[in-house]
Amino acid sequence: MAVKKKPQGGFSRLLGRLMLLLIGLACAIGVWIYQYASTPLVYKTPQDFVIESGGVKKVADQLVRQGVIDQPIPFLLLARISGKDKQLKAGSYNLSTVLSPWQLLEKLSNGDTTTLTFTLIEGANWRDLRKSLNNNPHLRHDTALLSDTELLAELGVSAISPEGLFFPDTYHVDKGSSDLKLLARSHQRMQAKLDKAWAERSANVQLKTPYEALILASLVEKETGRASDRPLVAGVFVNRLRIGMRLQTDPAVIYGVGESLDGRLRKVDLLTDTPYNTYTRSGLPPTPIAMVGDAALKAALNPAPTTALYFVAKGDGSSVFSNTLDEHNSAVRKYILSK
């Protein structure tokens, strides 16, 4: 006897209706997402905002807090459905025109950030640089609470001071980026410059290490702003080091006195012993005294072949070089004491 099969019509119709419902729901969601993605956002222009690193939910919450979008969930869904949720980049952004959510998402995933120009100045010292970093409102101040030792550890640098370790130049960085990242770039560039200059140093240079060259270059940097005089100034310092004569360079003394210096350098300052007083101590100071540029670095490692042991500034940016103390004293009377 044949077994009768139960009719499947009712279940098939139910399944069909469910499928139609799902298709309709998917279409509705698609239309809603398209409308949301293409509808211009409402915010004031121009608009500046900062995105910190983190997941897409954190980004959406930051956009809400800064008034770029009204609700986080639609933006969150759009980012995840489009696959751009893993591509959003931290940084500082500027909206000069009104964008749609999709255009905003494209901007964030492309990392179309605004940039900051920050200049490190030749001859400036670490104290000056740190003040400039801390006072810049467009940088994230990750180093503000770090001691010099802690900062060097973060940079992975083995040195007793940050002084002179950063190359003076103009750097372009994203607004809102870390000051530590800027310092890392500047240090890497300084190290590359120093390594190249050391490899190309003159055979008669008696300096033992690249760091000693950096110290000497900082003295040259501070002693003269005239490019043609730098090799001669370096030559005088090298001659003095060779015969064990004290360097007697005022900029080092000034650096050692620090912020307590009251106006011009006085005789008592020259007599007060500090690690940087090159009138009371022989040899190089323990660290550089300023940031050095290419010219000073090259001069320190390729000094002019001179027999001079003295020099004095003429007041116009240039210097007079002398072989003997009598010649030097005569130049001092002419260019310093007569004024």
Band of the pLDDT at 339, cuts 50, 70, 90? low
State whether 72 and 83 are in the same domain: yes
What pLDDT was estimated at residue 31?
A: 78
% of the chain residues with pLDDT over 90: 62
- Look at residue 32 and tell me if it is in a domain: no
Which one of 64, 84, 113 terminates a domain? 113
pTM of the model: 0.76
- Look at residue 33 and tell me if it is in a domain: no
Reported as type and span, the H/E element at residue 294 is: helix 294-301
State whether 60 and 119 are in the same domain: no
Q: Convert the pLDDT of each residue in 121-161 to its tens digit.
A: 999 999 999 999 999 998 999 999 999 999 999 999 999 99
Can you tell me the mean pLDDT for 266-287? 94
Please give the residue range of the domain that contains residue 254: 201-337
Q: Convert the pLDDT of each residue in 89-109 to its tens digit.
A: 888 888 888 999 999 999 999
- Look at residue 211 and tell me if it is in a domain: yes
- Look at residue 35 and tell me if it is in a domain: no
Nearest CA among 112, 113, 111, 133 for reference residue 121: 133
State whether 221 and 319 are in the same domain: yes
State whether 208 and 321 are in the same domain: yes
- Look at residue 127 and tell me if it is in a domain: yes
> Could you tell me the end-to-end alpha-carbon distance of the chain, in angstroms, rounded to an integer?
133
Given a cut of 60, whether residue 257 has pLDDT beyond it is yes
State whether 72 and 141 are in the same domain: no
Q: Convert the pLDDT of each residue in 281-300 to its tens digit.
A: 999 999 999 999 999 999 99
Given a cut of 90, whether residue 114 has pLDDT beyond it is no
Average confidence score pLDDT of the chain: 89
Given a cut of 90, whether residue 239 has pLDDT beyond it is yes
What pLDDT was estimated at residue 211?
A: 97
DSSP line for 19-88 = HHHHHHHHHHHHHHHHHHHHSPP---SSEEEEE-SS-HHHHHHHHHHTTS-S-HHHHHHHHHHHT-TT--
State whether 96 and 154 are in the same domain: no
| Domain harbouring 88, CATH code | 3.30.1490.480
User: Which residues, other chains included, contact 181 with Cβ-Cβ below 8 Å and sequence gap of 6+?
Assistant: 173
What pLDDT was estimated at residue 47?
A: 82
Phi, psi torsion values for 196, nearest 5 degrees: -65, -45
State whether 321 and 298 are in the same domain: yes
- Look at residue 14 and tell me if it is in a domain: no
State whether 121 and 107 are in the same domain: no
Tally of domains within the chain: 3
Alpha helices in 88-178 (DSSP H): 101-110, 126-135, 148-155
Which one of 113, 143, 158 terminates a domain? 113
Band of the pLDDT at 58, cuts 50, 70, 90? very high
State whether 315 and 251 are in the same domain: yes
State whether 167 and 287 are in the same domain: no
Number of Cβ within a 10 Å radius of residue 146: 14
- Look at residue 25 and tell me if it is in a domain: no
Band of the pLDDT at 2, cuts 50, 70, 90? low
Range with top average pLDDT, 158-162, 170-174, 176-180:
158-162
- Look at residue 50 and tell me if it is in a domain: yes
State whether 324 and 205 are in the same domain: yes
Q: Which residue has the tokens 């956009």?
A: 63
Nearest CA among 33, 25, 30, 100 for reference residue 73: 33
State whether 221 and 322 are in the same domain: yes
Which one of 138, 164, 194 terminates a domain? 194
What Cα–Cα distance (Å) separates residue 208 from each residue in 131, 166, 190, 201, 204? Answer: 33, 21, 19, 12, 12
